[in-house]
Amino acid sequence: MPAGQPESQPARNNRDWMGDGYSFTSHGAILTRPPEPPAMNPNLLMPAVTLKAGDALLVIDVQRDFMPGGALGIQEGQLIIPPLNRVITAFLRQRLPVLYSRDWHPADHCSFQAQGGPWPPHCVQNSTGAAFDARLDLAPKPLIFSKGQHRAEDQYSAFLAEDEGGQPLSATLRRQGLRRLFVAGLATDYCVSNTALDLRRAGYGVIVLTDACRAVNLDPDDERLALRRMAGAGATLVATTDLGIYP
């Protein structure tokens, strides 16, 4: 979830421009027609995804401060919990890992307005608002990874978030031999997308559960653009209702 100044939109690479009126030669991209407004590719919505060894579910920042009425509430954030809990149950039933990330900020964190940052105080360590939402199902002995826990550390991605022993999520993924991450939580346009992109850069398969995410949408197009960036990086976008994981 937001832990610092919103990032400017990254420059598109060749992959991002595929299908936008550019062709490719040995000399680079050539505009062949004016680009049309981007649209979601229906082929990216792949039904009947099933679970297998090497899969894990990563639940991102489903904390009280990010729920409506919280310090940094996200509109309709509560609606992700029923589909997310169904997926959590399915993973636990198959004895596959369920991992949780959280914002875990000191009271004087650099992202807070009092320190010159853009956000109101949120998810302060050991505060009520930093707790996971009470409606969220937690695995027995949940593996929890904290990010943004140092005063000067501004951290969107959960990829290097740390467990209570200081080990990063990236190390846990390697140690457990995980190869594909199902990603859901808050918020699509910040921590979900940054985490998914880092996972793809590291070579992991990524499936984003679109109905179990919600966006901040400082700009109305932020969610759509975040989904497009993740899909362009090779992540699969799928609704939980299209997963072939339920009995």
Question: If you compute the radius of gyration of the chain from its CA atoms, what whole number of angstroms results?
Answer: 18
Catalytic one of 110, 123, 191, 213: 191
Quick check: is 213 catalytic?
A: no
Rounded Cα distance between 171 and 245, Å, is: 27
Q: Which long-range contacts link 50-55 to residues 24+ away (Cβ below 8 Å)?
A: 50/243, 50/244, 50/245, 51/90, 51/91, 51/94, 51/96, 51/245, 52/180, 53/96, 54/177, 54/178, 54/179, 54/180, 55/91, 55/96, 55/178, 55/179, 55/180, 55/181, 55/182
- What number of other Cβ atoms are within 10 A of residue 224's Cβ? 18
Helix count (H) and strand count (E) of the chain?
5, 8
Q: Locate 72 and state its tokens.
A: 């940094």
Task: Tell me how far apart the alpha carbons of residues 46 and 237 are, in angstroms, rounded to a whole number.
Answer: 7
The answer to whether 222 is a known catalytic residue is no
Identified catalytic residue from 55, 65, 110, 147: 147
Residue 37 neighbours by CB under 8 Å, 6+ apart: none
Please name every residue paired with 102 in a beta bridge, in sequence order, or none if there are none: 146
Is 61 assigned a catalytic role?
yes
Among candidate residues 55, 61, 65, 222, the one labeled active-site is: 61
Retrieve residue 29's tokens.
């991209």
Partners of 24 in the beta sheet? 29
Structure-block tokens of residue 213 = 């995410």
* Catalytic residue ranges: 61, 147, 191
